[in-house]
Structure 1
Amino acid sequence: MSREVRVAVFRPDDERLRDAVELLDSLGATPVPDPMLAVEPTGAVPRDDADYAILTSKTGVELVADAGWAPGETALCAIGDSTAEVMRERGYAVGLVPDEFSSIGLVEALRDRVPGARVEVARSDHGSVVLTDGLEAAGGYVHETVLYELVRPPGSGESAERAASGELEAALFTSSLTVEHFLGAAAERGFRDEAIAGLNDAVVGAIGEPTRETAERFGITVDVVPEAADFEELACAVVEAAAPTYHE
């Protein structure tokens, strides 16, 4: 690598952050771990009398499994392969994973199945209305259960301080909420505008279009959006863009 690449990563402080740090280390970058999301369970569990139940995250699966939730005859849907994998590990049969791992992809996959059906959506308090509104528009009777709230951890914001000081070469945003919490942490420390300017001098990656749109709405220029909403693909592309490998 031709220069040091300090990369801010905002994943929750669990194995996702540890795996991200390990990946960035393997790419020759210097990780700047700064968790911007923490999970606060609500204690709620999904209904067990729906025709379809949708789980949108690994965290949600673990919470319902730990609570002993049994879906009965409900057909289970996962928003992507990683969620589906955890569902199977926890003993749930996965009936549907959309080709496109997104709310839009789920709506398209279920559009012809949900008219007149009861659809349970179990997720965080920051779930997109694209999913619930889309399923209702398709004719489903939608009920949403908030399994957990996503909050900004106390003390977060080291990455914002580094960005404001010009000490970041890259940043990896994995959701709209990580963007919002990054800016909240920067504002709390009194240098929101400087942090945005610092990011705009760095290489910024967003895991998908909704995250990119959120960042750009706040004045953050996004340089990299991977074809697949995959963290490893995002990290590799951003590190390569921040410090290209030159071949003679």
Structure 2
Amino acid sequence: MTTRDTTVAVFRPDDERLTNAVELIESLGATPVPDPMLSVRSSGSGPQTGADYTILTSKTGAELACEAGWEPGETTVCAIGPSTAQALRDQGYEVDRVPDEYTSSGLVSELSGDVAGATVEVARSDHGSDVLIHGLWEAGAFVHETVLYELVRPEGAGESVELAAAGELDAAAFTSSLTVENFLATADEKGIREEALAGLNDAVVGVIGPPTRETAESLGIAVDVVPQHADFEELACAVVEEAAPTYHD
């Protein structure tokens, strides 16, 4: 199989992230199947002010915090990874802490030695991992969480599900546990869960990190690729390479 014959499903929200994902897959010589499995619905809230530490976990959160008029003040601003950090800087914020591992557990490891007795504001989506909240509490922090936005499954999703069920999907790149769950929920609605799951397991499945892998495997999906870093470009490159070994030719 050549890369150009390789179909790769991507599930990013239908904004510049999906556009960039499509361009990246095309630049790798594969054929993208853009199938948004997440849509962002803002809560209108911004991070609570006055905390010793404030954590943001996504580019969307950074943008919505700015839209809500958030002013950090003296808080220590923490980003879950470099993409979120850059998004915060793009909005005019300074970033003080970024963990070496771009996950909730990585953030806990980064901050656990410093937050005992401190107040920590966690501003993120309604589907944030409990690992972050519980880990910070266990480290002795007083944690408050603000939901900046909800993640919902958009209407019209499902092209990749139908391709998988027909045996015509070569690879898939899941960027969160919720994209995995929404893929299968869409298959359920279409009455083709068993066929879609079989087709997915015949394809190359890549996931953004260990939590997404755990979700996928718990739902019967065999995972082939997990990049070293929770980074979409790294994920996409690894998935295309695995699906079409001619990638480097």
2:241 touches 2:247 (CA, 8 Å); kept in 1?
no
Which residue number in structure 2 is paired with residue 8 of structure 1? 9
* SS of corresponding position for 2:110: helix
1:54-133 alignment runs, 5 A limit? 54-133=55-134
Separation (CA, whole Å) in 1 of partners of 2:242 and 2:6 = 10
Determine the C-alpha separation between the residues in 1 that align with 2:92 and 2:248. Answer: 48
Residue 246 of structure 1: how far off its partner (Å): 8.3
178-187 or 87-96, larger mean C-alpha shift: 87-96
Write the deviation string for residues 170-215 of structure 1: whole angstroms up to 9, x where unpaired: 1110100000000011111110111000001111101111111111
Q: Which residue in 1 is equivalent to 2:238?
A: 237
Structure 2 residue aligned with 1:151: 152
Amino acid at match of 1:10: F
Post-superposition Cα deviations, 1:118-177, rounded to whole Å, max 9, x if no partner, equal: 100000000001001000000000000000000000010111011000110111101000
> Are positions 1:35 and 2:36 aligned together?
yes
Aligned: 1:227 with 2:223: no
| Deviation of 1:236 (Å) | 1.1
Residue 119 of structure 1 aligns to a residue whose secondary structure is strand
Supply the distance in 1 between the matched residues of 2:60 and 2:217 (Cα, whole angstroms): 28
Deviation at 1:104, TM superposition (A): 0.8
Q: Cα RMSD between the aligned structures?
A: 1.3
Q: Give distance in 1, aligned partners of 2:35 and 2:90.
A: 29
Out of 144-153 and 38-47, give the one that drifted further. Answer: 38-47
Paired residue type of 2:2: S
Runs of 4+ with deviation above 3 angstroms: none
1:11 is paired with a residue of what secondary structure? coil
* Deviation per residue, 1:50-71 (Å, 9 max, x gap): 0000011110010010111112
1:2 offset after TM fit, Å? Answer: 2.6
Matches within 5 A, 1:186-205: 186-205=187-206
Distance in 1 between residues matched to 2:247 and 2:37, nearest whole Å = 34
How many residue pairs get matched? 248
TM-score (ref. length: structure 1): 0.97
Any unmatched runs of 5+ in structure 1? none
Distance 1:30 1:92, change over 3 A: same
Question: Equivalents in 2 of 1:79, 1:2: separation in Å?
Answer: 36
Alignment match, 1:18: 19
CA distance in 1: counterparts of 2:60 and 2:243, whole angstroms = 31
